[in-house]
Homo-oligomer: A and B are copies of this chain.
């Protein structure tokens, strides 16, 4: 893990090696999925000794999480969610962009692998939450708070509930490979979450 304190002496960690390992790990999980990814394959393909991987990552899960993080956040901190004034449009745009990412087979498989690992491994899921999920939720909550201030959202609605109502249905359709993930289907989810199912009752 990158939190390791700098040692006082000796050769320093080679950043190029780290990058090669993470890049290869992403490629492998994208090609073979998580279950069939092996440390050995990553090491060989990255031109690196197995020990070099074991020195820095405790297991497959941590490695893949880092690999996906590196690739996702690679370009730097993600900016805020769009704010055109029209909440439904903005949320739909974000979700459509997410669905489009899923359409890339490499990203799809990598993310499925990571998600599968997270479901079973509590420690990994905590790291995932802290480093990927919470930052993203924060952006979402910020956008929704502005919507509340603009009177487009109930002032007393719990923002975590709101995020789940809006985003969880898409995730569910993706993980289980069933349900409408077209732009129209996604917009219907947003509209449903905002207006409610019970109509003018």
Contacts and interface: CB of A to CB of B under 8 A. Distances in A.
B193 A165 contact: yes
A128 to B, nearest CB: 8
Interface centre among A129, A168, A195, A197 (most CB of B within 10 A): A197
B125 A119 contact: no
Given A161-B192, A169-B168, A189-B164, A119 B198 contact: no
6 contacts: A122-B177, A125-B176, A161-B185, A168-B171, A194-B197, A196-B198
Contacts of A166: 197
A12 to B, nearest CB: 16
A152 B198 CA distance: 6
Contact of A115 (B87, B119, B125, B197): B119
A116 interface: yes
Interface string A19-61: 0000000000000011100000000000000000000000000
A47 B133 CA distance: 44
Interface string A111-148: 01101111110100110110001000000000000000
Contact of A177 (B87, B125, B171): B125
Q: Is the interface of A mostly helix, strand, loop or mixed?
A: helix
A180 B196 CA distance: 20
A112 B115 CA distance: 11
A198 B193 CA distance: 8
A178 interface: yes
A165 B192 contact: yes
A158 B125 contact: no
B169 A189 contact: no
Contact of A176 (B133, B158, B188): B133
Given A125-B177, A172-B168, A176-B129, A162 B120 contact: no
A119 B175 contact: yes
Nearest to A155: B199
